[in-house]
Amino acid sequence: MSNGTPILKLGKHQPRYPLIQGGMGVGISGPRLAGNAARRGAVGTIASVGLSHNSPHFLLKKMNYFESNEIVIKEVVQQAREIAGPEGILAVNCMVALTDYDTEVRAAAEGGANVIVSGAGLPLRLPEYTKDFPDVALVPIVSSAKAASLITRRWEKRYGRSPDGFVVETPATAGGHLGATAMEQVYDPALSIEVALPDTVRFVAEEMKSDIPVIAAGGVWDRKDMERMFELGAKGVQMGTRFACTVEGDASDRFKQAYIDAKEEDVVLIHSPAGLPGRAIKNPFVAKYLDGEVESNPCFANCLTHCRYRKTRETFCIAMALVDAFNGDWERGLFFCGSNVVKVHKVETVEEIIGELFAESTFGDDGR
Ligand SMILES: Cc1cc2nc3c(=O)[nH]c(=O)nc-3n(C[C@H](O)[C@H](O)[C@H](O)COP(=O)(O)O)c2cc1C
């Protein structure tokens, strides 16, 4: 690359590499993965959703789910900080669709997160929840320049501040819940990274007149993919799937084995109870769901503001299904994945991935 590797700056925070290890719930990117990613020079991201499912606060029934979640988020950020060290950049991914979104964001900021990354809905009120933490960088996840513009206008009008960056995630390849309102939109060319990323870069430069970074997510596996994103104007990349199957990944070994075993025909789209499409491995649970005969666990914690299972008993309790996958229950779990899961052939270390991505990188600007 002629210009070298870009410098990624999120507000006051500058990781060594322009790389975000993406937040993956439930529990897939916990303290170990995020702490180690941050320690190795990336932004390490904890997914806040459902973190308390296996905490003593919740399991011993001393507290309800929401109260225990608030405590556990702070504990987990601190555990990650111990691994990352004081210089490591830690983010918490908070999903707008969660019932206790505001509490989760506040807990992440109070717990010491440097960055809040927030999607699965438009984070229109995010600055309100972090107003006492001006150093915490705020990074919405969007799938189009239109969404970036909506958020920016609202934040500027209401809170007098702008986002510190945008993650542009394409539904065509990403894992987890996808930023598309309908199944047909998943492969809409308008939401492809080739369109949405340069559009958002243009919006930032020409309309915001800003140099905040735009970060590309979805389908990035190796250095070639990453450099293509930089050529399209990204100042960084966010990667999920490849990091899920690492030694440091917080999920069970069985979860990682499911990634290793997955073939192209096993990767499917489902309608999630949250009303969004999602990408997952077609295991016995998903196969039954697609056939219309899934049996659900009971509702876990009223965790989503809009949940088809809670409202009408259609679909299934997604929190429980994701916890089952985290624990490695192949029969009953929902194994979210990106389309790159077919490239996972072994468990890697975070150091190997980052080393391979940035070997002999020449850095732009100040040559860090
Ligand atoms: C298992 C799994 C769980 C995920 N959970 C979340 C989540 O809780 N919140 C979120 O914003 N994104 C979530 N994502 C998306 C990732 O953060 C990331 O943006 C995406 O996976 C990037 O695409 P890639 O997997 O092709 O690298 C998840 C992805 C995976 C694979």
| Amino acid 313: pLDDT | 75
Mean pLDDT score, 61-77: 87
- Model pLDDT for residues 140-191, shown as the tens digit of each residue: 999 999 999 999 999 999 999 999 999 999 999 999 999 988 899 999 999 9
| Amino acid 362: pLDDT | 60
Q: Where are the alpha helices (DSSP H) in 113-144?
A: 126-129
Listed residue (231, 186, 184) closest to 338, CA to CA: 186
Query: Is any atom of ligand 1 closer than 6 Å to the C-beta of 238?
Result: yes
- Model pLDDT for residues 184-207, shown as the tens digit of each residue: 999 999 999 999 999 999 999 999
Q: Do β-strands 89-95 and 43-47 pair in parallel, antiparallel, or remain unpaired?
A: parallel
The sheet carrying 277-281 orders its strands as 176-177, 277-281, 267-271
Query: Is any atom of ligand 1 closer than 6 Å to the C-beta of 173?
Result: yes
| Upstream peptide bond of 26 is cis (omega within 30 degrees of 0) | yes
Query: Is any atom of ligand 1 closer than 6 Å to the C-beta of 119?
Result: yes
| Cα(176) to centroid(ligand 1), Å | 5
Query: Is any atom of ligand 1 closer than 6 Å to the C-beta of 95?
Result: yes
| Cα(312) to centroid(ligand 1), Å | 27
Query: Is any atom of ligand 1 closer than 6 Å to the C-beta of 175?
Result: yes
At a CB cut-off of 8 Å and minimum separation 6, what does 331 contact? Answer: 283, 284, 285
At a CB cut-off of 8 Å and minimum separation 6, what does 267 contact? Answer: 279, 280, 281, 282, 337, 339, 341, 342
| Cα(326) to centroid(ligand 1), Å | 14
CATH number of 19-252+345-358: 3.20.20.70
**Inter-residue contact 95 to 120 (CB < 8 Å):** yes
Residues facing residue 20 across a β-bridge = 43, 238
Mean pLDDT score, 117-140: 97
How far is 43 from 89, CA to CA, in rounded Å? Answer: 5
The residue to mutate among 241, 259, 272, 337, having the most atoms of ligand 1 within 8 angstroms of its beta carbon, is: 241
Residues facing residue 90 across a β-bridge = 44
Residue 299 gets which letter from DSSP?
P
Mean pLDDT score, 75-101: 96
So where are the chain's domains?
A: 19-252+345-358, 254-340
pLDDT of residue 365 exceeding 70, the answer is no
What average pLDDT does the structure give for the chain? 93
Residue 288 gets which letter from DSSP?
H
Residue 53 gets which letter from DSSP?
G
